[in-house]
Amino acid sequence: MLTRLWPALLWAAIVLLLTGLPGNVFPEIKSFWDWLGPDKVVHLFIFGVQSFLILWGFRDGFFAGRDRKLLTWAAVVSSSFYGLLTEVLQRYVFVGRSGNVYDFLADTIGALLGWLLFLWIFRKKMKIPDFG
């Protein structure tokens, strides 16, 4: 089972390493509108890749139509939870970092986008009709 998930686990380790680096050069988010900056695009990307890689690890079951809802929830919720974990670590453990709720929101949206990208790329393999 873990052999299929090694890309997702490797990506998670890289994310943890990067989120633990001192971040005193990054600007602090002060308001809701500031959250729309380039930093949030990075969060969208990081956690989108995470949920995509988790789904890729379970692709055989997903393509066969087995437990698609469960696998979707597993990928999106675990990626979002990992985003929450990194934010908590940045706030209370990592030096020079500050986790915040807007980053977590971007992490969760990114996890959902990773799932949607997976569906879009593999829609023919799963016999999902085109969107347009």
Q: What is the pLDDT of residue 131?
A: 57
What is the torsional sign of CA 112, 62, 57, 120?
A: negative
What pTM did the predictor assign? 0.81
Residue 111's pLDDT band, with cuts at 50, 70 and 90, is: very high
How is the chain split into domains, by residue range? Answer: 45-132
The DSSP letter of residue 21 is S
Least confident piece of the model among 33-42, 61-70, 106-115: 33-42
Model confidence band, residue 79 (pLDDT cutoffs 50, 70, 90): very high
pLDDT, the chain, mean: 85
